[in-house]
Amino acid sequence: MLSRRVIVCLDVADGRVMKGVQFESLREIGDPAQLASQYEAEGADEIVFLNIAAHADGKARLPDIVRRTAEQLFIPLTVGGGIGSVEDAGMMLRAGADKISINSAIVSRPELITEAAQKFGSQCVVASIDARRQESGWRVYTHGGRNATTLDAVKWAMTCAALGAGEILLTSIDRDGTRDGFDIALTNAVAQSVNIPVVASGGGGNGEHVVEVLSDGRADAALMAGAFHDRTCTVDQVKAAMCKAGLPVRMAA
C-alpha cells in the first residue's frame, strides 16, 4: 500500500504566506521559502503554494518565489492560483514546481485539463475543487470561494479525472480554517467516484482528524495549514498518530 501523505499548504500573497478562515480574515504568517524548508525538515511529504493575490503583480511575482523555494526543497511542490492557460502552467513548472493546481480556469474551459495533461503529463495536473455543502450534495465554487457555479462537486471530480487530471485537491469551504475535522462525507463521495488520488483539505486540526480522513479507502493525502502555522499541531504529531493507527507513512529521517 502506498504511503499516505501529509501536505502543508502555504497561501501566498505579495510574497508572504497568509492564512484565513473560510477563505476570509487573512493574517500574515511568514516567508514562503523559509516556511517550506521548515516543514520539509519536520517531515512534510509535499508543499502546496496557492497564490491568493487578486492582482496581476501577485501573479507576476510568484515564479520567483517558486524558484527560490524549489532550489531548497527535495519534496514535491505544487503551485496553484491564477493559472489560466498551458503557458501559465509551463511557467510554474519551469520555475521548479512539480505539479500545477487549477481551479477557476478549468471550470470556464474544461479542455485546459486535457491540454495541460497532454503537454506535461497527467501526473503534473491537479484539479482543485472548492466545494460548499448544499441541501443535496456539494456545489463547486470558484475565484477563492466567492463565485458559485451550477456544478455538483462529485460529478465535476469525475469529469476532471476523465479529462486527464492526475489528482484532485478537494477543499471543503465549510470546514476551511475551522480545525473541526475534514468533511468526511464529501471526501468519501469524491474518493469513491474517481480512480485518481484525492487530497482532502479544509478542517484539519490534529492527527486524529488526519487518521479519520485517510482511513478506510478515503483520501490519499491530507492537506493542512493553520494548525501547523500556529504550532497547535506538528507534522511529527500527525505522522505519529498515523503510525499508531496502522496507516502507511513516510517518517522524517
Q: HEC states along the chain?
A: CCCCEEEEEEEEECCEEEEEECCEEEEEEECHHHHHHHHHHCCCCEEEEEECCCCHHHHHHHHHHHHHHHCCCCCCEEEECCCCCHHHHHHHHHHCCCEEEECHHHHHCCHHHHHHHHHHCHHHEEEEEEEEECCCCEEEEECCCCEEEEEEHHHHHHHHHHHCCCEEEEEECCCCCCCCCCCHHHHHHHHCCCCCCEEEECCCCCHHHHHHHHCCCCCCEEEECHHHHCCCCCHHHHHHHHHHCCCCCCCCC
Q: Of the listed 14, 31, 98, 130, which one is catalytic?
A: 130
CA 201, CA 177: separation in Å to the nearest integer?
Answer: 10
57 is catalytic: no
Amino acid at 125: V
Q: Of the listed 11, 45, 88, 220, which one is catalytic?
A: 11
130 is catalytic: yes
CA 202, CA 182: separation in Å to the nearest integer?
Answer: 6
Give the residue numbers annotated as catalytic, written as ranges.
Answer: 11, 130
